[in-house]
Amino acid sequence: HSSIVSEPDFAGQVLRSSHWIYWGIGQVAQSHQRFHVVEQTEIANDANLRVFGYSEPYHARCTATKLYTSQKLAWICSDQLGFEDDYPKIQAPDGALLINGFLLCFDASANFERQCAFLKEVAPYLAKAKRPSVLAVTKMDLIANQPELHARQMEALRKAAKNLSNLAGTVETSAQLGVNVDEAFRLLAGAIEKSRPRAAPYAEALMGHQAACDSARQGFNQLLQATLSLTVSLQPSGQAWQAWLKANGSKREFADFIALFGTGNARNEFDRCAASLRDRAVSERREVIGQRLRKLLDTAYPLETAEPARLMRHDSVVKRLLHIGGDQHFVSVTNAWQENRDYLASLDTRIPYNFLINKAESSQIFMV
């Protein structure tokens, strides 16, 4: 991961004229273990595309066990540079930051020969550092359906890593799917603490992750079905979401879902469920309206004494029905009746005037 920045940005609060990025503090799920996460990178000057300052090669520098900083801020995004006051300020520990372990990331979709060559170069420096390391094979979702390529890459990686005396293990991960990411950090933490946890193979971890996702989605949908009322679903989308969140945001099913899918997907599921409730309410009310209108038509146009309504002009039928039905059978509803929250949420089954005068809707009843 390399970056190209201006000289003022390189000297700014986030980079502090150093070639490593502070990502902040992370915590392994369902664990007390917390990490200060640092990424060693190379940052080039946008004026000449040359790396700032360093003569030491990357494979030597990236294994440093002690980093020094003062008032260095966590990296959030490239747009943050020069506009630090517009973003949350998370500060790295001042002074010496001790590195207790290394997470070596190998991109499964990139050139493996080049990455294996780097591993051979960095091996003696890691041995000298005397810190445990974990190999995290990233982007496994991109090659999971290519078993032959996967097997070749894993064999090449195994050979390249055989000289790493402090290697705690290899973990196949997918950040895109959220598979084994925590496991990589958990394995490294266990090595630092002298325990030796086992990371699941990618296929096994993917199955476990998918099962957890299915369970979380099912639990969240059941929560929505049990707690989302028609009254709430008829509110404007933002208001409905906030009202539901206030009442249910602390429930376990919600927490489990957003941990795997995020709040944005929770909102999408909520909107889908609310729309389904509204559609069902409109459909049921339309059926009730239709039944009531048919009965009124039978009263206004008995088949044995009058011409059927389907053979008459629409406006003539409307006029006669209004004359006969009046306020007992008809109600004034503002805007479209399908979007009127008060009407749909009420027990009032009278026929909206705007349903009756809408030829496309009411004439379907007349033609029956």
Domains in the chain, start-ordered, CATH in brackets? Answer: 1-99 (3.40.50.300), 102-200 (3.40.50.300), 210-275 (no CATH), 283-366 (no CATH)
CA gap 219, 256 in Å, rounded = 9
Answer whether residue 195 shows pLDDT above 60: no
pTM, two decimals, is 0.57
pLDDT of residue 103: 94
206: closest CA among 227, 186, 236, 176?
176
DSSP for 286-355? HHHHHHHHHHHHHHHS-TTTS--GGGS-HHHHHHHHHHHHHHHHEE--SS-GGG-HHHHHSS--PEEHHH
**Residue 101 predicted with pLDDT over 90:** yes
Residue with tokens 């990236």: 62
Q: Distance (Å, rounded) from C-alpha 10 to C-alpha 108?
A: 30
- Average pLDDT, rounded, for the chain: 83
pLDDT tier for residue 27 given thresholds of 50, 70 and 90: confident
Question: What pLDDT is recorded for position 305?
Answer: 45
Q: Residue 368 has what pLDDT?
A: 47
Q: In the 8-state DSSP scheme, what is residue 109?
A: T
Angle at 161 (CA atoms; ends 159, 167), nearest 5 degrees: 145
196, pLDDT greater than 60: no
Using a 10 angstrom Cβ sphere, with 0-12 exposed, 13-18 middle and 19 or more buried, the burial of residue 320 is middle
As a whole number of angstroms, the distance between CA 306 and CA 156 comes to 89
What DSSP letter does each residue of 168-237 carry, written as one string?
EEEEE-BTTTTBSHHHHHHHHHHHHTT--PPPPPHHHHHHHHHHHHHHHHHHHHHHHHHH--HHHHTS-H
Q: At what angle do helices 263-300 and 359-366 cross, to 10 degrees?
A: 50
Rounded Cα–Cα distance for residues 204 and 220 (Å): 24
| Distinct helix (H) and strand (E) counts, the chain | 14, 11
Over range 323-351, report the average pLDDT: 79
The most confident of 26-30, 46-50, 302-306, by mean pLDDT? 46-50
**What is the per-residue pLDDT for 112?**
84
Q: What is the mean pLDDT of residues 267-288?
A: 88
Amino acid identity for residue 83 in this structure: F
Instruction: Work out the number of other CB atoms within 10 angstroms of the CB of residue 217.
Output: 17
For the chain, what percent of residues have pLDDT higher than 70? Answer: 90
pLDDT of residue 21: 93
The larger pLDDT score, comparing residue 275 to residue 334, is at 275
* Average pLDDT for 307-329: 69
Helix axes 314-329, 359-366, angle to 10 degrees: 90
Residue 208 pLDDT? 76
**SS3 letters for 51-75?**
ECCCCCCHHHHCCCCEEEECCCECC
Given this model, what pLDDT does residue 63 score? 92
Q: Span 133-150, mean pLDDT?
A: 88
Which pLDDT band holds residue 202 (cuts at 50, 70, 90)?
Answer: confident
Which residue type occupies 288?
A: V
Cα-based angle 4, 178, 195 (whole degrees, multiple of 5):
100
* Mean pLDDT calculated for residue range 101-115: 89
